[in-house]
Structure 1
Amino acid sequence: MSRHLTVGVDGSAESLRAAEWAADEALLRGVDLRMVFVDQWSGSAPGPSVALEQHQWADKVLADAASDVAQDRPGIEVATVRQSGRPASVLAAQAAEADMLVLGSRGLGRVKGFLVGSVGLATIGATDRPVVLVRGAQHPDDERPDGRWRRDVVVGVDVHHACDALLAFAFEEAARHGCTLRAVYGWSLPPVVRDACALAAAERDMGPDIARRLADMLLPWRERFPSVDVVECTPVGGPTMRLLHAAGDADLVVVGRRARRAPLGTHIGSVAHAVLHHCPAPVAVIAHD
């Protein structure tokens, strides 16, 4: 089976931006792009004429999106798929055959955040493949003409738990795009710390060990990807807050979620969930043990 990236499209501006992002990534990787439109009917099945109209509209959405991404990207191979079913289930099944699944995410207007939605969250929880959530319009200076990024890849890690799949994805993306990788671990001080002097002492005593743990975690990956410039960040503060702060100057933010095998619903984790809803950059969610 040929390698490819998959992107979900539904005619929205956000999904079209996701298609453009996925097309650039597919070109850079040298793989094909598959666009998927999911037909979802609420309530009873529609009559034949309504179904035909819906199918024709979906096919036009797919054709227009494929034409748009191919227009400025000569050489890209684009396949389109229209499939009926529950969106999260269909997209997860399509993701299982792909290197990556890309979805759009809608901004919340004046509210500082983004609407991932139940489909996006359910899809992330239903697949072990990397899922990237792409926001709307991108600044015209964010990408170089060759499709590579101008700014950093940021990865949020936990120095107390192994996360090889997460680091592998982050290092590969940084190497592929020729940009700096910033590894961020935000850590909190004990609740007994109450004043500035105690805070400084705790940071002085604990900081070096935290920094060493991060350096040890990254060392094998630095050796495997010697071309990647790595910046190690161990700021004091909650992991979500510190990761979102670093994301303000990033082209991609990579977060992990613990893979859950039992069918107990969506399990994403509080940090990944918050980053998905508040990070301005595209967010890649990587399932790992």
Structure 2
Amino acid sequence: MTAVTVGVNGSPESFAAVRWAAREAVVRELPLRVIHVQDWPAHPEHIEHIAGRPLAPEPLPPPGRSREAEHVLREAVRIAELHQPGVRVRTDDMAGEGLAAQVLLTEAGSSGADLLVLGSRGLDSLTGFLIGSTSLPVAAASECPVVLVRGHGHGDTDAGDNGSATGKLILGIGLKRSTGNDELLSFGCAEAARRNSRLQILHAWSLPAMYTYAETADPGIGDELAGHISQTLNRTVEPWRERFPDVSIEAKAVVGAPGAELVYASPGADLLIVGRRTRTLPVGPRLGHVAHAAIHHATSPVAVVPHA
């Protein structure tokens, strides 16, 4: 059975991801699967907790389980049920099964996860967000969409889902290739329909170098190109307006670098949606520069959607 799957390791960011994933599970009318997976050595923030254990011997936990894992999973269930009463939750402890990224990818693929949700650690406005050895490879190789949720605080606040919903989703698309946009538009329109949200479709472009001198001779050539791009964008989006008549869809073409423009648009959005091509490369799966910019610097949760 499909589910919304969330990976937790006991960090505040992972619990922020649980809150977001629980809401998404309710919206999608799916169960929530919480997977505990912890790389070794432990993250520095857990060292104090481990070092603070009493030296007196304690009863050994059952094979493959630990008190820390059980506590993390109990807390995840408590948070999910507190924020989304009635959500169906099941838990799995996968600690010790291998590298966290590999375990999450295997579990999400074998279980037919509808969506995989992970937390990401915030640094500061200059440096951006730390996407570590788990989130980055998972987002680059997952067969299902991956959502990275920002952790802004501790406890049971609405950290990680940016507080109350604003009712706006942002989706970035390109127009150079004929493939890929259908998967992105399908995901974005369906998400907006489930949430009763507005969808802003953003395409960023810049004037080709060959137009630089031509624009000097004819200042209106840039406006002509802008009009052509806007028409192409609207033609691309129009079939999806017909498929989702109840969704308010705005298509907007802006001049600028795609990654930067999506980051500028992200504050206040409920979700920023970007694509990732599923092509096979000699060096393995990778994220494009637009997805990299979004997941490192956008302030909203970011969905990375695989497409052809």
**TM-score, structure 1 as length reference:** 0.88
Q: How many residues align?
A: 280
Instruction: Please give the residue correspondences for 1:237-276 in structure 2 after superposition, counting only pairs within 5 Å.
Output: 237-262=256-281, 264-276=283-295
Secondary structure at the aligned position of 1:186 is classed as strand
Gap regions ≥5 residues in structure 1: none
Question: In the alignment, is the contact (CA less than 8 A) between 1:35 and 1:62 conserved in 2?
Answer: yes
CA RMSD of aligned residues (A): 2.6
From 175, 182, 200, give the equivalent of 1:159.
175
Q: CA offsets, 1:43-97, max 9 Å, x none? A: 9xxxx96997972211110111111211242211111111121111111112222
* Alpha-carbon distance in 2 for matches of 1:106, 1:91: 18
Question: In the alignment, is the contact (CA less than 8 A) between 1:121 and 1:266 conserved in 2?
Answer: no
Q: Could you tell me which residue of structure 1 aligns to residue 8 of structure 2?
A: 9
Q: Structure 1 residues 172 and 63 mapped into 2: Cα distance closer, same or farther (>3 Å)?
A: same
Q: Offset at 1:166?
A: 0.8
Question: In the alignment, is the contact (CA less than 8 A) between 1:88 and 1:126 conserved in 2?
Answer: no
Q: Which amino acid aligns with 1:183?
A: I
2:149 is the alignment partner of 1:134: yes
From 73, 78, 89, give the equivalent of 1:67.
78
Question: In the alignment, is the contact (CA less than 8 A) between 1:4 and 1:99 conserved in 2?
Answer: yes
Q: Offset at 1:143?
A: 5.9
From 174, 182, 197, give the equivalent of 2:192.
174
Q: CA offsets, 1:178-198, max 9 Å, x none? A: 111111110011225279866
Q: Could you tell me which residue of structure 1 aligns to residue 222 of structure 2?
A: 203
Q: Offset at 1:155?
A: 0.4
**TM-score, structure 2 as length reference:** 0.83
Instruction: Please give the residue correspondences for 1:222-233 in structure 2 after superposition, counting only pairs within 5 Å.
Output: 222-233=241-252
2:87 is the alignment partner of 1:76: yes
From 130, 139, 145, give the equivalent of 1:124.
139
From 104, 113, 124, give the equivalent of 2:128.
113
Q: Could you tell me which residue of structure 2 aligns to residue 93 of structure 1?
A: 106
Q: Structure 1 residues 198 and 3 mapped into 2: Cα distance closer, same or farther (>3 Å)?
A: farther
Question: In the alignment, is the contact (CA less than 8 A) between 2:17 and 2:117 conserved in 1?
Answer: yes
Gap regions ≥5 residues in structure 2: 43-58, 153-157
Q: Offset at 1:177?
A: 0.8
Q: Which amino acid aligns with 1:114?
A: F
Q: CA offsets, 1:80-127, max 9 Å, x none? A: 111121111111112222100000010013535111112111111221
Question: In the alignment, is the contact (CA less than 8 A) between 2:16 and 2:161 conserved in 1?
Answer: no
* Alpha-carbon distance in 1 for matches of 2:106, 2:219: 50
- Segments of 4+ moved more than 6 angstroms: 50-54
Secondary structure at the aligned position of 1:124 is classed as helix
Q: Structure 1 residues 110 and 219 mapped into 2: Cα distance closer, same or farther (>3 Å)?
A: closer
Q: CA offsets, 1:5-55, max 9 Å, x none? A: 000001111100000000011011111000011143359xxxx96997972
Q: CA offsets, 1:139-165, max 9 Å, x none? A: 799666xxxx32310000001223211
Question: In the alignment, is the contact (CA less than 8 A) between 2:22 and 2:83 conserved in 1?
Answer: no
Q: Could you tell me which residue of structure 2 aligns to residue 37 of structure 1?
A: 36
Return 118-127 or 20-29, whichever deviates more: 118-127
